[in-house]
Amino acid sequence: MKRITSCWFICFFLIASLWKVHAQQPIRVACVGNSITEGYGLGDSTYPKALQRILGSAYEVRNYGLGGRTLLKSGDHPYWKEKAFQEVQQWNPQIVIIELGTNDSKPWNWKDSLNFIPNYREFVEIFKQLPSHPQIYLCLPPPSFSDKFGIRNAVIKKQEIPMIKRVARTEHVRIINLYKGMQHEGAHFYDGIHPDKIGAVHMATYIARQLKLPHQP
Domains of the chain: 28-210 (3.40.50.1110)
Question: How high is the pLDDT of residue 114?
Answer: 99
Between CA 91 and CA 136 the distance in angstroms is 15
Q: Which residues contact 69 (CB under 8 A, 6 or more apart)?
A: 33, 34, 75, 77, 78, 79, 82, 100, 103
Between CA 73 and CA 36 the distance in angstroms is 19
Question: How high is the pLDDT of residue 18?
Answer: 42
pTM of the entire predicted model: 0.88
Written as tens digits, the pLDDT of the chain (217 aa) is 555 555 455 444 444 444 444 558 999 999 999 999 999 999 999 999 999 999 999 999 999 999 999 999 999 999 999 999 999 999 999 999 999 999 999 999 999 999 999 999 999 999 999 999 999 999 999 999 999 899 999 999 999 999 999 999 999 999 999 999 999 999 999 999 999 999 999 999 999 999 987 644 4
Question: How high is the pLDDT of residue 177?
Answer: 98
